[in-house]
Amino acid sequence: ETGVTQTPRHLVMGMTNKKSLKCEQHLGHNAMYWYKQSAKKPLELMFVYNFKEQTENNSVPSRFSPECPNSSHLFLHLHTLQPEDSALYLCASSQDGADPKEQFFGPGTRLTVL
Partner 1 sequence: GQNIDQPTEMTATEGAIVQINCTYQTSGFNGLFWYQQHAGEAPTFLSYNVLDGLEEKGRFSSFLSRSKGYSYLLLKELQMKDSASYLCAVVDSNYQLIWGAGTKLIIKP
**Interacting residue ranges for partner 1, rule: CB under 8 A:** 4, 40-43, 45, 56, 90, 98-108
Least distance CB 43 / partner 1 (angstroms): 4
Region label for 40, one of left (φ > 0), alpha (ψ between -120 and 50) or beta (otherwise): left
CA distance 46 to 27: 21
Residue whose CB is less far from partner 1, 78 or 109: 109
Strand partners, 24: 5, 73
Least distance CB 39 / partner 1 (angstroms): 10
CA distance 54 to 17: 25
Residue whose CB is less far from partner 1, 84 or 99: 99
Residue whose CB is less far from partner 1, 85 or 93: 93
